[in-house]
């Protein structure tokens, strides 16, 4: 009986290993770059009114799923170390949904104190933390 020559056999094995490596590479790249569900971020343009210490929060959803603003809880800790009363963005926002890849402004949502105020946004299985300075 005749079999496959050693050279042909080695080439077939190398081709199979390269194909498996290529598929594994494509799979891992897809997982590494995939952004699913809701990914909340607090934008750098979040501000604090110097007269009232009211904090305007700008949220971004970097995920691929929209989320209702009424399901996002905003809270934090003021510069004195006291908890800031929790609220949602829905009552004061111009839109009711934070779309995938979009942003929404929540004006005068929380009240901070003079100094750094830590802001926390949670919703849709995601959370974001930002710091806002009030004068």
Q: Are 124 and 59 in the same domain?
A: yes
Q: Give percent of the chain above pLDDT 70.
A: 90
Most confident of 13-17, 58-62, 105-109: 13-17
Q: Are 57 and 24 in the same domain?
A: no
Q: Are 116 and 59 in the same domain?
A: yes
What's the CA gap between 118 and 132, in Å, rounded?
Answer: 7
The parent domain of residue 67 ranges over 40-134
Q: Are 21 and 71 in the same domain?
A: no
Question: pTM of the prediction?
Answer: 0.69
φ, ψ (nearest 5 deg) of residue 45: -80, 5
pLDDT per residue as tens digits for the range 44-96: 888 888 898 899 899 999 988 899 888 899 999 998 999 999 988 865 556 78
Q: Are 10 and 54 in the same domain?
A: no
Q: Are 46 and 102 in the same domain?
A: yes
Q: Give the chain's domain count.
A: 2
């Amino acid at each position: 009986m005749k079999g496959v020559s050693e050279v042909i056999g080695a080439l077939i094995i190398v081709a199979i290993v390269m194909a498996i490596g290529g598929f594994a590479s494509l799979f891992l790249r897809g997982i590494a770059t995939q952004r699913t569900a809701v990914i909340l971020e607090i934008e750098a343009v979040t501000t604090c009114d110097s007269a009232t210490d009211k904090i305007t929060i700008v949220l971004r959803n970097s995920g691929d799923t929209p989320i209702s603003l009424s399901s996002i809880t905003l809270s934090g800790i003021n510069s004195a170390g006291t908890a800031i009363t929790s609220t949602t963005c829905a009552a004061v926002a111009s839109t009711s949904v934070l779309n995938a890849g979009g942003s929404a402004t929540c004006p005068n949502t929380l009240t901070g104190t003079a100094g750094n105020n830590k802001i926390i946004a949670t919703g849709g299985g995601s959370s974001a933390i930002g710091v806002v300075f009030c004068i």
